[in-house]
Amino acid sequence: MNPISSNRVIRILPLLFVVPAWLSVSPAVARGEGVVEIIRADHDAALLALRKTIPEDIPLLRGYRATTPPDSWPHALPTQQPAPQLVEAMKLVASRLAIDGLLQVTAGVIHAIGPDAFLKDDAAAIEILKQVGLPVDLLEAFTVGDASGSKLVRHIASRLAAGAAPGDLTSDLSLAKFAFRPSSLGFQLSSEAGQSNIDLVRMQVPNADYWKGQGDGSALDVVRGMSSALPEARLVVSIASEAADALRAEAAKWQRGRGAGITILPGPWRPAQWAQDNGKPGTATTAAGKREAATLMPRYASRGEERSVCDSAETFGIEALAKIGHRLIRSPLLFQGGNLIPVYDPATRQRVLLIGEAEVYRNSALGLSRPQVEEAFRVECGVDQVVVLPAVSFHIDVELSAREVGGKIVVLVNDELGAASLIVRRSLDAIRSLGRIDAATVEAAMKDLAAGNAGAVAQRLAGPVGQLRDADGAYTENIVAAFCAGEVDSGAASIARFLLAMDILTGLQLKADELPSDPFARAYVRSLQRRAEDRARLHAALAELGWRVAPVASLSDENRGINYVNGFHVPGRYLMPAYGGFFASVDQAAAEQIRAALGAEVEVVPVLCGETQRRLGAIHCAASIYPAE
């Protein structure tokens, strides 16, 4: 069957999703296996223009939530001169919400504006609180007496109008009951432990071009690799409208051997590659009582760890999934999907949500306490237990990957010393080819690596490595070329990983009295040591769950990492991120370790993502997979 060429094709699946008012659709057309199709939709120009005014920054109003009018939330104060009381109230929210909590700050805001404004009309009162940045949707989870939500606002305003000060309400508000209500009753995040067949793969690409060519591991190449690794799953790819036809032409080349089709969703946004972060896959209950695929979206999609920068393209671009009848659920909680890993543990019959501690702080900034954040995620995600893990890396999905093996959970985790040793071993070949190191030093370094004498290796190689730089401290083209394995490889990136490996081998074995005297060098080495300490705590937390922790020669260091745990578990297979190129031998060593950890019945399937790893992620960051439930 030829690829569909219509520019306006959409299927409407009854009872699955209420199509937003901004989405214009046309009649259904039958889908065949192996089809590469483009599904377009019209967008409301005024709404799109409004959304594009939202800056890529931390929302000025803390409670901002992405919604569709008429249920709209302001991102900032009105452009006209706001009343002084509103400005004072907004500053109170921004400065005290994370410290004093949602209820106490609500009392402070009502007092600052004047309680009488909150006693006339409940809907109007809620709108005022929205205008100053209070996340009023979360007030529904709190009950004081029999009052919650807007009734709770009226209760607080009545007390203040009677002469009480905000501080007088502290003891009363501290007794509030917290009962978070799920955004979709019955929704559950899907376990990522390889227990279900995969029906759908969702991905995003900024454009339809390779970085250098096929095999470079760029965004487009990862889509190609995932398409090949999961031929039985429907592939849905979001892309900017102007690049959709080029992507269709390229995707048509991948269809040989694929049973499922490829759907391209063009839109007015240029999406980033990281489809994992703006929505987590799960299942929800239909009106007929069946389970269907669904996506839980955050309050708004964000970037950054210590700062939650609103990303409009990721926040609203995901709404294109509505075009294929996919159910979308917007949560009042703020999260990045790579920091949430749901795991069904068959030994305890418990659904466990592993969550990075950054997500706790994101929602503490909305006025929730840590226990309240954990409870909210437990209810919203449909799990039995929430386990908060230390922030070793940007997201926990570059630190671990869990799988059911023989009725128990095995967790693949980073072994950065093991990875550093393999990286140095491979890099010695390049240094030797340049004639910059003698055979005896290489042989001695190899013996030290085999014996685990990391410090000795670093000391032996310090001189030869320093001589690789020219007088200006740069690496010349012939040096870079020695660390490159082909046209789609990056020699400069290989050198960066080698230098990181040397830092790890050196820094992790230094004692307190051996640290560099230079304050900057000392701080850097201590950062490596603290990261190793945090990683050990993370591994211990996983072991406490009764899970087997399996170290893999893998490391996460933003754009300098070589990571093998940021993959996907599916029945009978582990889709392993592979760096390729100069470090293909490291890929092979990691694959052997993973086979040993998971057993011979699990096939390790490499998916090239070298350039993607150089841009801070790997394949789990770049895709979301949905089970056939």
Provide DSSP, 355-409.
EEHHHHHHHHTTT--HHHHHHHHHHHHT-SEEEEE--SSSSGGGTEEEEEETTEE
pLDDT at 122: 95
Q: Are 204 and 293 part of one and the same domain? A: yes
Question: Residue 436, exposed/middle/buried by CB under 10 A (0-12, 13-18, 19+)?
Answer: middle
Two tokens, residue 376: 């909210």
Two tokens, residue 19: 């199509």
Residue in 239, 202, 206, 223 with CA at minimum distance from that of residue 326: 202
Are residues 624 and 228 in contact, defined by beta-carbon separation less than 8 angstroms?
Answer: no
Local confidence band at 323 (pLDDT 50, 70, 90 cut-offs): confident
CA distance 4 to 26: 14
CA distance 614 to 210: 14
Question: Over the stretch 598-625, which tens digit does the pLDDT of each residue have?
Answer: 999 999 999 999 999 999 999 999 999 9
What is the torsion angle, in degrees rounded to the nearest 10, for the CA atoms of residue 167, residue 169, residue 171 and residue 174? -110
Question: Over the stretch 80-129, which tens digit does the pLDDT of each residue have?
Answer: 778 899 999 999 999 999 999 999 999 999 999 999 999 999 999 999 99
Q: What is the mean pLDDT of residues 525-554?
A: 98
Two tokens, residue 283: 């299942």
Q: Are 206 and 313 part of one and the same domain? A: yes
**Domain-embedded: residue 377:** yes
Q: Are 381 and 467 part of one and the same domain? A: no
Residue whose pair of structure tokens reads 């954040």 in the numeric block = 373
**Domain-embedded: residue 29:** no
Q: What is the mean pLDDT of residues 306-315?
A: 93
Question: Over the stretch 168-180, which tens digit does the pLDDT of each residue have?
Answer: 999 999 999 999 9
Are residues 246 and 274 in contact, defined by beta-carbon separation less than 8 angstroms?
Answer: no
Q: Are 151 and 201 part of one and the same domain? A: no
Q: What is the mean pLDDT of residues 14-23?
A: 33
pLDDT at 7: 30
- Looking at the chain, the number of H-run helices and the number of E-run strands are 20, 23
Edge-to-edge strands, sheet with 548-552: 400-405, 408-414, 548-552
Q: Which of 441, 475, 509 is the last residue of a domain?
A: 509
**Domain-embedded: residue 359:** yes
**Domain tally, the chain:** 3
In sign, the C-alpha dihedral spanning 106, 89, 373, 296 is positive
Q: What is the pTM of this model?
A: 0.92
Local confidence band at 33 (pLDDT 50, 70, 90 cut-offs): low
Are residues 506 and 458 in contact, defined by beta-carbon separation less than 8 angstroms?
Answer: yes
Question: Structural domain of residue 484, as residue ranges?
Answer: 418-509
Q: Are 497 and 544 part of one and the same domain? A: no
Residue whose pair of structure tokens reads 């509030």 in the numeric block = 176
Q: Which of 108, 143, 177 is the last residue of a domain?
A: 177
Q: Are 248 and 385 part of one and the same domain? A: yes
Q: Which of 177, 204, 228 is the last residue of a domain?
A: 177
- Count the Cβ atoms, other than its own, within 10 Å of residue 38: 23
Which has more pLDDT, 192 or 23?
Answer: 192
On the CB side of 541, how many CA atoms lie within 13 Å of its CA? Answer: 23
Region of residue 186 (left: phi > 0; alpha: psi -120 to 50; beta: else): left
Q: C-alpha angle 292/298/304, rounded to 5°?
A: 135
Are residues 260 and 33 in contact, defined by beta-carbon separation less than 8 angstroms?
Answer: yes
Residue 281: CATH number of its domain: 3.75.10.10
Q: Are 500 and 606 part of one and the same domain? A: no
Q: Are 201 and 252 part of one and the same domain? A: yes
Pairing of strands 327-330, 280-285: unpaired
What are the residues whose beta carbons fall under 8 Å from the beta carbon of 501, sequence distance 6 or more?
419, 420, 421, 423, 424, 427
Are residues 410 and 403 in contact, defined by beta-carbon separation less than 8 angstroms?
Answer: yes
Question: Over the stretch 65-86, which tens digit does the pLDDT of each residue have?
Answer: 998 877 889 988 877 778 899 9
Q: Are 171 and 196 part of one and the same domain? A: no
In angstroms, what CA-CA distances link 476 with 171, 284, 470, 501? 68, 56, 7, 20
Question: Residue 470, exposed/middle/buried by CB under 10 A (0-12, 13-18, 19+)?
Answer: exposed
In three-state secondary structure terms, 31 is: coil
Which has more pLDDT, 530 or 67?
Answer: 530
**Domain-embedded: residue 609:** yes
CA distance 432 to 447: 16
Q: Are 306 and 266 part of one and the same domain? A: yes
Are residues 141 and 181 in contact, defined by beta-carbon separation less than 8 angstroms?
Answer: yes
Q: What is the mean pLDDT of residues 420-439?
A: 94
What are the residues whose beta carbons fall under 8 Å from the beta carbon of 384, sequence distance 6 or more?
350, 351, 352, 378
Two tokens, residue 187: 């929704």
Local confidence band at 629 (pLDDT 50, 70, 90 cut-offs): low
Q: Are 304 and 427 part of one and the same domain? A: no
CA distance 87 to 131: 10
**Domain-embedded: residue 4:** no
Residue whose pair of structure tokens reads 């190129």 in the numeric block = 581
**Domain-embedded: residue 73:** no
Q: What is the mean pLDDT of residues 294-307?
A: 94
**Domain-embedded: residue 44:** no
Edge-to-edge strands, sheet with 327-330: 188-189, 280-285, 291-297, 327-330
Q: Are 123 and 219 part of one and the same domain? A: no
pLDDT at 405: 98
**Domain-embedded: residue 490:** yes
CA distance 89 to 589: 58
